[in-house]
Amino acid sequence: MNILIKKFYYGDIPDGASENEKPNTHKLSETSWPLWEVFMRSKQGLDHKHAGSLHAADAQMAIENARDVYTRRQEGISIWVVESKYIHASNPDDSEMFYEPSEDKVYRHPTFYDLPDEVKHM
């Protein structure tokens, strides 16, 4: 049997490799649950940190799902959720203009200042 083998990696099977492929029969007409971003505090005294995202119908369900998805091993003791559409982000295209001005301000760092060794506790 002559089989043409094309290389692909584990977890990366090319499109159209199946003979049994069926056309999409379902309609995507269902209203889908909105996307939420999840932030978690891992223990008292630390900041909430972005953990990931998930879909849920409302805030309560988002918190409950976040509990199931992100805290199965005591990773968190407090959860914040916010609908992803309310997150505003800086644009990566602007990063030069946005962040570079701080690059040449080395005097903002303590290591910029050369002091004699005799100075203690500073």
Partner 1 sequence: MSIHDLELAFQDKIDNEIKIEPKDWMPEAYRKTNLRQISQHAHSEIVGMLPEGNWISRAPSLKRKAILIAKVQDEAGHGLYLYAAAETLGMSRDQLVEDLNSGKAKYSSIFNYPTLTWADMGAVGWLVDGAAILNQVMLCRTSYGPYARAMVRICKEESFHQRQGFESLLVLSKGTKEQREMCQDAINRWWWPSLMMFGPKDSESTNSDQSMKWKIKRKTNDELRQNFVDMIAEQIKLLGMTLPDPNLKWNENRKHYDFGEINWEEFWNVVKGNGPCNKQRLAARNKAHDEGAWVRAAAMAYAEKRKNKLKTKAA
- Identify the CA nearest to 62 among candidates 86, 84, 38, 78: 38
Is residue 97 a contact point for partner 1 (CB under 8 A)? no
Measured distance CA(17)–CA(86) in Å, rounded = 40
- Report d(CA 36, CA 68) in Å as an integer: 14
Give the bridge partners for 54, in sequence order: 36
Residue 121: CB minimum distance to partner 1, A? 39
What is the closest distance, in whole angstroms, from the C-beta atom of residue 43 to partner 1 in the complex? 17
Examine residue 73 and tell whether it contacts partner 1 (CB under 8 A).
yes
To the nearest 10°, the Cα dihedral for 73, 76, 81, 85?
-70
Binding residues for partner 1 restricted to 6-65, rule: CB under 8 A: 6-15, 17-26, 28, 30-33, 35, 52-55, 57-58, 61
User: By CB under 8 A, is residue 111 in contact with partner 1?
Assistant: no
Contact (CB, 8 A) for 44 and 76: no
Minimum CB distance to partner 1, residue 46 (Å) = 18
Binding site for partner 1 (CB under 8 A): 1, 3, 5-15, 17-26, 28, 30-33, 35, 52-55, 57-58, 61, 68-69, 72-73, 89, 91-92
